């Protein structure tokens, strides 16, 4: 039986991942880890156990692992790409010093660890079209540098100590439950909120700038599937390219307009976000994930747009 600790359980991905895992493994087997000041609320708080699990305070992680007899850790603690550029030291402390703490505790307690990487682990020199699984990774953001380090450190703990580390390179994740904060791909979430409220959207990314994106249900499925995958089939570990859809602002705008003909969008390009977006893949090749653990997304842009507009309408109006 799995006992799982989700670190960062009140963030964009963590809040939905914890509930998804509770649905699969049973609520009492999934502990919602949080930092003081960001306590779980509502269903997340009421449906199962929670514990302080602050990656920069190793003792809190060790205590939660021991108290709940944890065997699997999903580590979602990170600053996203744009905010990390203005707080590089904190981004490193959370992303890398924090990961070190987790991997040490995992080694001592024989836990498996999932720590996501990102499309942000690639850079300008990476082939942008059908970005291969194994290719150049020379990002120029601190977020990207920390994600490449995450992949390498996680691989090192596997090869050196046998810690069962696995990860995916997440695209921009789109969801209607908890908003993201400080990412380059956030525009693709924000645009739906504006459309549902009937407001004009100002897009910070230039038309024609394609990035990989994914709807949250597919992202949750990917994380859980990879952690359940047969290890004898895994040639890679940290981190797998996973792709679902790729678009620029003009394409998501058209998809929304098909449902909301009056919706308007204008551009006011943010130079930092734009330069980060241009350094990321247009679309990743996820053949290895498909071959090694049967990855297959369910949502494309049209299906996601219909569902996002429906769920956000219920949430906001």
**Interface positions with ligand AKB (CB under 6 A):** 80-81, 118-120, 143, 170, 172, 183-185
Asked if 143 is an active-site residue, the reply is yes
The residue (of 58 and 130) whose beta carbon lies closer to ligand AKB is 130
Residue nearest to ligand AKB (CB): 183
Contact present, 203 and 277 (Cβ < 8 Å): no
- Burial of 233 from C-beta contacts in 10 A (0-12 / 13-18 / 19+): exposed
Residue 245 neighbours by CB distance under 10 Å: 26
Cα(225)–Cα(37) distance, rounded to whole angstroms?
Answer: 31
| DSSP label of 63 | H
Smallest gap, in angstroms, from Cβ of residue 80 to ligand AKB?
4
The least distance separating ligand AKB from the CB of residue 286, rounded to whole angstroms, comes to 15
For residue 273, the minimal CB distance to ligand AKB (Å) is 9
Distance of closest approach, residue 149 Cβ to ligand AKB, in angstroms: 14
Closer residue to ligand AKB (CB): 80 or 145: 80
Smallest gap from Cβ 171 to ligand AKB, in A, equals 6
Nearest to 106 by CA among 54, 167, 151, 162: 162
Catalytic-labelled residue, pool 143, 187, 194, 215: 143
Q: How far apart are CA 95 and CA 23, in angstroms?
A: 28
Minimum CB distance to ligand AKB smaller for 216 or for 256: 216
Residue whose CB is less far from ligand AKB, 68 or 240: 240
Q: Find the angle CA(271)-CA(286)-CA(128) to the nearest 5 degrees.
A: 35
SS3 155: helix
Query: Considering beta carbons, is residue 121 or 224 the nearer one to ligand AKB?
Result: 121
DSSP of 79-107: --HHHHHHSHHHHHIIIIIHHHHHHHHHH
| Cα distance between residue 290 and residue 296, in whole Å | 6
Give the active site residues: 143
């Amino acid at each position: 039986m799995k006992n799982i600790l989700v670190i960062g359980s009140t963030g964009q991905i963590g809040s939905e991942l914890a509930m998804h895992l509770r649905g699969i493994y049973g609520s009492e087997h999934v502990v919602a880890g949080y930092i003081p000041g960001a306590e779980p609320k509502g269903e997340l708080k009421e449906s199962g156990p929670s514990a302080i699990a602050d990656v920069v305070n190793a003792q809190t992680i060790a205590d939660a692992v021991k108290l709940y007899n944890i065997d699997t850790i999903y580590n979602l603690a990170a600053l996203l790409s744009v905010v990390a550029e203005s707080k590089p030291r904190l981004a490193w402390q959370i992303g890398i010093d924090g990961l070190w703490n987790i991997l040490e505790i995992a080694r001592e307690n024989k836990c498996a660890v999932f720590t996501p990487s990102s499309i942000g682990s690639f850079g300008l020199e990476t082939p942008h079209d059908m970005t291969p699984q194994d290719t150049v990774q020379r990002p120029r953001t601190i977020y990207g540098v920390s994600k490449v380090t995450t992949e390498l450190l996680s691989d090192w703990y596997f090869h050196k100590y046998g810690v069962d580390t696995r990860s995916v390179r997440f695209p921009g994740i789109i969801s209607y439950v908890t908003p993201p904060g400080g990412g380059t791909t956030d525009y693709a979430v924000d645009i739906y909120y504006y459309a549902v409220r009937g407001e004009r959207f100002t897009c910070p990314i230039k038309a024609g700038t394609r990035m990989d994106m994914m709807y949250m249900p597919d992202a949750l499925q990917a994380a859980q599937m990879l952690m359940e995958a047969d290890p004898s089939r895994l040639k890679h570990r940290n981190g797998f390219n996973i792709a679902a859809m790729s678009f620029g602002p003009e394409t998501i705008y058209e998809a929304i307009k098909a449902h909301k003909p009056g919706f308007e969008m204008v551009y006011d390009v943010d130079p930092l976000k734009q330069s980060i977006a241009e350094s990321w893949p247009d679309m990743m090749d996820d053949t290895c994930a498909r071959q090694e653990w049967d990855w297959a997304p369910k949502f494309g842009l049209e299906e996601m747009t219909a569902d996002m507009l429906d769920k956000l309408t219920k949430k906001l109006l």
